[in-house]
């Protein structure tokens, strides 16, 4: 209310200035339902108020123009309706300020303990199918009002949730931008996954924005502080909003709501929103033009978002896959086919616990292996001063490396939280064993008249030692250079070729593996004898014989003999004599086979022979194991004979038994066998002692010749291999689960092995060339990995890793029901081989520099080498497998023709020949292989490649409508899982490209406008 003074004559009112009380008001006027009409043009400054009730106009005169303007504002707001609108606006702003989580954070749902604490059981749950999303709906607007008549609207909807217990507004998701229409049909849906705390009482707020410039729409491409709403002047303006209860939607008869959009003050209507409930299990079979008529002018197809881990994998595999896959993100698209039907595509991306599990298991094995090696070096016994000093130096360096591995394992043990390593962390020392941005990318296609199909790609940053750096290149170059330098070192140590050092490690591994087994089987044999159990005795003898024969065979290699001689001459007090040329170079040791290196011959000859050394002693020691086993076998045969035959006569008929000097068979079986078993163990122990020392001496030479480079290269190789193996284990487990009901695939798996094809997108310029060199060696090392499938004995389904460097066995655990589906060969523990191949084609601007001013030989050599490996696998496959076990693709191209086409493209040396990657990927899928796609961080270039591959498959195998290929591609890149991957890594929804870079990219590897640019990471 405003005090005024009115004159009765001309109805003019003279009002006191604000804050002055020189005269009192003559009456009080209630300023309701009135408005300012005009300013009167008089020397004195006045305004006119008119009343809806028809009362006489009120003329107000002010002392100055400034006072008059302030009065006009105050009078305009001094009514209950204006105050109510202002209160509503303030309430809306308060809700906006209380937003605590952005759309990406909304996926991190409340833990169950916190959910319970909110008292949520009092709310009404939404009925749904198990493992299906709780709620899904699609959106469309009609009759939107633009701020200016001549402007075309570019709109999107932001979806927020108000939890009934907290009354806090949480931004959840957004639709895509639809351009140039007042009636946008949004082709991006909204999905609330099973874990999300949403109830019938939950309110959902829909806010419509008009985007002025899509390329500047940072609202949808960046993560804002929780309490801030983006300013309108950075690319969008507010149009209107509305709110509805979930119960109103799910209980509506037509499962549809039509809501009115209003401005922020709640006064003006700016259009309507249609909310349609969507059920994912229902696939529309109608014509596409019956579903939507104006979608032809829009740039995406239907997308829904969900996080159902097992929507496509089946219930049986839920426990074991849940142990491997974490934090899944899903999208659902609907695209038209060439015959105007809808097909539905579910795109899933999930990180994996194997990113940390596999490296930790590997590092633990490295520590045990290195501790064992250090102890074996110490157990070499007394050495001459030169060799003893060398041993001390090697052990000191090895202890330092061992300490580093232990520190790394301890740091990884402290890690909690996310199951993946982001691209921003690629250079962190404590995480250097962890693969970069490792994810499963899966596409499940359900299309009319075609069988459902799964397409998996493992995306991961190129396995490389980023913390170590690439100043001197990668492993491929470093290993070659190191080996050349080792050949040319002086006479301080003895040169053994890489093959021989690998053989020495293999012998030591066999000793450590077989000796306890033989001892165990020998004890079982004695136990069976004490029980007088013939069947048990036969079985125990069979196992003992098999393991002992393997043990004896392990020492047939000439390397052991030559290493024993070298070790003998390294003992203190040994009289060294210059040896004569060996009588038979083939017997002198495998090092002499390198006759093309004179320095090698000299250094091998410098290993002295001693006149007192008996070269045949090793043969006698080694042969005693076999003789002792024969004695045991002969005695068991005697004990099992039904007829009592004189032991003397039996000894005459059996030479091996005669060696045993046993002349009676009566009495207790245990007493008969015990001395023979003890003799076998003693003979074996003597062999083990000598062989261990000789092989440890070989490893001493390897380490001493290259300190400290040798250990640093081992570290680098371990780092790269760890990253590569984590991805491989993930790929194998996913492939095994997907193919459990495919008998052809399972037969191929144990008969031939599994093809693993890596697609590289690295350039051959600057640091990325070093990354490619690391990656090539790491992938090649995977050939030494074997898989074994076992039945899980507990609820822990994580894989078990055993073995040593250059020979690992990965034991994959399956629940009993799934294990029973496997062929007998796999169930019996047959080791499954891997055949990794790598094809690389650089596509960025750095590759342009390499092609024009640098060198692409590295890429050409890698592609050529791996083509030969792929041909070998195909040859093996055709020899062992029937052709009808292959997947039946719609695009039936002959595999032999595809291989020839790939060969021609590699030979062509065409710039940025991406057809090499397409052909290699197609061949891999046709051969039931596992697909990998890698770039530096598996974020940007990888996203372009994966989305292109998915759309190409939809076109070639599922009849995607040709007019929708580019639209589908843009949709997956703008709204799909890969843009979420970018957000996870750099907290920004923008691919890290700029316009200049993209000019160098092949056409189909360029993202849509507005999805790329500088990202603040």
Residues serving a catalytic function are: 935
3-state secondary structure of 790: strand
DSSP letters of 354-396? Answer: HHHHHHHHHHHHHHHHHHHHHHHHHTT----HHHHHHHHHHHH
**44 half-sphere exposure, CB direction, 13 A CA radius:** 11
Beta-strand runs (E) in 178-324: 178-179, 190-192, 203-211, 236-245, 256-262, 269-277, 302-306
Q: Which residues lie below 8 Å from residue 257, measured CB to CB, with a gap of 6+? A: 244, 248, 249, 274, 275
Query: Strands (DSSP E) along 129-226, which ranges?
Result: 135-142, 154-162, 169-174, 178-179, 190-192, 203-211
- The DSSP call for residue 214 is G
The Cβ-side half-sphere exposure at 485, using a 13 Å CA radius, reads 12
Please answer whether residues 172 and 103 qualify as being in contact, where contact means their C-beta atoms are separated by less than 8 angstroms. yes
- Which of 716, 715, 717 is CA-nearest to residue 401? 715
- With 0-12 CB in 10 A as exposed, 13-18 as middle and 19+ as buried, what is 670? middle
Could you give the C-alpha distances from 461 to 758, 762, 774, in angstroms and in order? 11, 10, 12
The closest alpha carbon to 477, from 805, 911, 775, belongs to 775
Please list, in sequence order, all residues whose beta carbon lies within 8 angstroms of the beta carbon of residue 676, skipping any fewer than 6 positions away. 628, 631, 632, 635, 660, 662
The beta strands (E) that lie in 15-124 are given as 27-29, 34-40, 45-51, 58-62
Burial class (CB in 10 A: 0-12, 13-18, 19+), 786: middle
Helix axes 915-926, 857-880, angle to 10 degrees: 20
How far apart are alpha carbons 296 and 438 in whole angstroms? 36
Using CB atoms within 10 Å of the CB of residue 583, give its burial: 0 to 12 exposed, 13 to 18 middle, 19+ buried.
exposed
Angle between helices 534-553 and 617-640 (to 10 degrees): 170
Angstrom distance (rounded) from CA 588 to CA 584: 7
Q: Residue 854: is it exposed, middle or buried by C-beta count within 10 angstroms (0-12/13-18/19+)?
A: middle
DSSP state of 296: G
* 920 contacts 757 by C-beta, under 8 angstroms: yes
Pairing relation of β-strands 785-791 and 807-814?
parallel
Q: CA separation (Å) from 683 to 379, 518, 522?
A: 19, 12, 13
CA-to-CA separations, 440 to 56, 314, 960, in angstroms, rounded: 76, 17, 24
CB contact at 8 A, 782 and 725: yes
Write the Ramachandran bin of 11: left for phi over 0, alpha for psi from -120 to 50, otherwise beta: left
Cα–Cα dist 729/323, whole Å: 13
- Asked if 42 and 62 touch (Cβ cutoff 8 Å), the reply is no
Residues 762 and 209: their CA atoms lie apart, in Å, by 40
Nearest CA to 677 among 561, 901, 524? Answer: 524
């Amino acid at each position: 209310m405003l005090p005024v003074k009115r004159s009765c004559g001309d109805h003019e009112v003279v009002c006191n200035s604000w804050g002055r009380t020189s005269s009192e008001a003559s009456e009080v006027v209630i300023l309701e339902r009135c408005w300012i009409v005009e300013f009167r043009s008089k020397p004195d400054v006045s305004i006119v108020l008119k009343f809806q009730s028809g009362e006489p106009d009120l003329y107000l005169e002010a002392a100055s123009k400034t006072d008059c303007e302030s009065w006009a504002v105050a009078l305009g707001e001094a009514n209950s309706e204006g105050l109510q609108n202002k209160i509503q606006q303030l309430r809306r702003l308060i809700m906006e300020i209380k937003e605590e989580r952005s759309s990406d954070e909304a996926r991190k749902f409340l833990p169950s303990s916190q959910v319970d604490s909110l008292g949520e059981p009092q709310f009404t749950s939404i009925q749904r199918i198990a493992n299906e999303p709780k709620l899904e709906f699609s959106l469309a607007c009609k009759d939107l009002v633009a701020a200016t008549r001549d402007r075309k609207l570019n709109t999107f909807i932001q979806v927020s949730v108000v939890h009934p217990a907290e009354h806090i507004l949480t931004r959840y998701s957004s639709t895509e931008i639809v351009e140039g229409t007042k009636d946008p049909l949004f082709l991006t849906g909204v999905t609330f996954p099973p874990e999300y705390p949403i109830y019938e009482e939950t309110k959902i707020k829909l806010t419509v924005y008009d985007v002025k410039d899509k390329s500047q729409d940072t609202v949808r491409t960046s993560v804002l502080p929780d309490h801030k709403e983006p300013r309108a002047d950075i690319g969008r303006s507010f149009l209107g909003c509305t709110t509805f209860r979930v119960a109103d939607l799910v209980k509506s008869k037509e499962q549809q709501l039509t809501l009115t959009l209003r401005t922020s003050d709640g006064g003006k209507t700016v259009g309507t929103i249609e909310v349609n409930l969507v059920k994912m299990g229902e696939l529309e079979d109608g014509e596409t033009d019956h579903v939507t008529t104006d979608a032809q002018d829009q740039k995406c197809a239907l997308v829904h978002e969900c996080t159902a881990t097992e929507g496509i994998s089946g219930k049986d595999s839920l426990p074991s896959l849940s142990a491997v896959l974490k934090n899944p993100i899903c999208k659902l698209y609907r695209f038209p086919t060439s015959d105007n039907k809808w097909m539905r595509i579910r795109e899933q991306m999930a990180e994996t616990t194997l990113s940390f599990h596999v490296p930790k298991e590997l590092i633990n094995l490295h520590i045990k292996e290195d501790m064992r090696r250090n102890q074996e070096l110490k157990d070499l016994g007394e050495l001459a001063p030169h060799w003893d000093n060398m041993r001390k130096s090697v052990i000191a360096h090895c202890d330092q490396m061992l300490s580093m591995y232990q520190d790394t394992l301890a740091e990884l043990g402290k890690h909690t939280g996310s199951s993946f390593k982001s691209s921003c962390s690629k250079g962190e020392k404590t995480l250097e064993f962890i693969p970069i941005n490792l994810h499963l990318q899966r596409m499940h296609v359900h299309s009319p008249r075609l069988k459902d199909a799964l397409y998996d790609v493992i995306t991961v940053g190129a396995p490389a030692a980023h913390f170590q750096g690439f100043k001197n290149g990668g492993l491929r170059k470093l290993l070659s250079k190191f080996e050349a330098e080792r050949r040319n070192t002086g006479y301080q140590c003895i040169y053994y070729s890489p093959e021989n050092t690998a053989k020495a490690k293999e012998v030591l591994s066999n000793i450590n593996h077989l000796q306890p087994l033989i001892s165990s089987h020998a004890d079982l044999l004695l136990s069976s004898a004490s029980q007088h159990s013939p069947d048990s005795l036969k079985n125990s003898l069979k196992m003992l014989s098999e393991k002992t024969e393997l043990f004896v065979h392990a020492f047939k290699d000439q390397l052991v003999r030559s290493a024993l001689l070298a070790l003998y001459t390294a003992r203190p007090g040994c009289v060294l004599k210059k040896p004569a040329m060996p009588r038979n170079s083939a017997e002198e040791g495998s090092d002499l086979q390198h006759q093309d290196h004179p320095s090698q011959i000299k250094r091998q000859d410098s290993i002295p022979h001693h006149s007192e050394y008996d070269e045949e002693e090793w043969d006698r020691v080694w042969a005693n194991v076999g003789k002792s086993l024969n004695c045991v076998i002969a005695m068991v045969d005697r004990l099992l004979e039904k007829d009592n035959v004189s032991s003397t006569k039996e000894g005459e008929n059996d030479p091996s038994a005669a060696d045993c000097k046993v002349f009676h068979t009566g009495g207790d079986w245990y007493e008969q066998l015990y001395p023979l078993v003890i003799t076998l163990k003693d003979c074996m122990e003597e062999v083990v002692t000598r062989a261990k020392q000789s092989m440890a001496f070989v490893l001493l030479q390897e380490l001493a010749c290259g300190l400290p480079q040798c250990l640093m290269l081992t570290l680098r190789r371990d780092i790269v291999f760890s990253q590569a193996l984590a991805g491989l284990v993930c790929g194998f487990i996913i492939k095994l689960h997907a193919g459990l009901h495919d008998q052809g695939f399972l037969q191929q798996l144990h008969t031939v092995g599994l093809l693993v094809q890596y697609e590289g997108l690295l350039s051959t310029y600057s640091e990325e060339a070093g990354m490619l060199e690391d990656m090539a060696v790491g992938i090649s090392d995977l050939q030494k990995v074997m898989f074994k499938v076992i039945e899980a004995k507990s609820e822990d389904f994580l894989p078990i890793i055993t073995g040593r460097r250059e020979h690992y066995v990965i034991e994959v655990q399956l629940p009993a029901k799934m294990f029973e589906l496997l062929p007998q060969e796999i169930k019996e523990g047959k080791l499954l081989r891997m055949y990794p191949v790598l094809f690389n084609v650089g596509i960025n601007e750095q590759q342009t520099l390499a092609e024009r001013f640098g060198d692409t030989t590295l890429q050409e050599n890698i592609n050529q080498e791996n083509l030969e490996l792929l041909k070998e696998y195909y040859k093996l496959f055709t020899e062992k497998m029937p052709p009808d076990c292959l997947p039946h693709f719609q695009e039936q191209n002959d595999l032999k023709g595809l291989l020839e086409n790939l060969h021609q493209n590699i030979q062509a040396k065409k710039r940025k020949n991406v057809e090499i990657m397409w052909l290699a990927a197609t061949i891999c899928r046709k051969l039931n292989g596992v697909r990998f796609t890698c770039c530096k961080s598996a974020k940007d270039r990888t996203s372009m490649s994966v989305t292109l591959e998915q759309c190409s498959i939809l076109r070639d195998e599922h009849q995607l409508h040709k007019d929708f290929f580019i639209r589908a591609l843009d949709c997956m890149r703008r709204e799909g899982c890969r843009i979420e991957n970018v957000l996870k890594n750099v907290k920004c929804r923008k691919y890290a490209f700029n316009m200049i870079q993209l000019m160098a990219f092949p056409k189909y590897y360029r993202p849509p406008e507005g999805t790329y640019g500088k990202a603040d990471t």
